[in-house]
Every structure is written in structure tokens, then in C-alpha cells.
Structure 1
């Protein structure tokens, strides 16, 4: 089972992280993935 985005923001952030990885920007991809994790742990108020 792979990554399952919880909403549109996560889907776009995941796509960006993959693009960054493909381009060799590993540090930036790590930051983007960390943002997804942070948002899941501390969701924004609705």
C-alpha cells in the first residue's frame, strides 16, 4: 500500500515532493514530506 493523500493539499504536496526527488532536490523533497507529516499530526482548524 502506497501513500494515500487525505485531501487535495496532500495530493499536490506529494506530487511536488516526487518531482523534487526526480530532479535530484532531495533536501527540498524531504522538507515537503515533513510538511505533510506535520500537517497530519497538527491539522489546521476548520
Structure 2
């Protein structure tokens, strides 16, 4: 499967959902992004 290009706006959406306390699973279901992708950006945001 090919990689999907991510833009800063997409990463901002993930972090906007994560910051108030939504789980990775909730973000995946809401935005339709792969779980690994969400987990990667959430880990970077937490660091």
C-alpha cells in the first residue's frame, strides 16, 4: 500500500483531538487515519 502524504493541518487535527483527552481509538474513528499514524503523532506531541 502506498504512503499517504500528511500535511501540517492533518497533524494539527490529530493533536487537537488528542489534547482534550480523546483516546487514539476515538481519533482513528473520527478522522479515518491509521492507528499507527495517530499513535506516532500523539507520542511526538507528548514528548
Range class of TM-score, shorter chain: 0.3 to 0.5
What TM-score comes out, normalization by structure 2 length?
0.37
Higher RCO (Cα < 8 Å, 6 or more apart): 2
What TM-score comes out, normalization by structure 1 length?
0.37
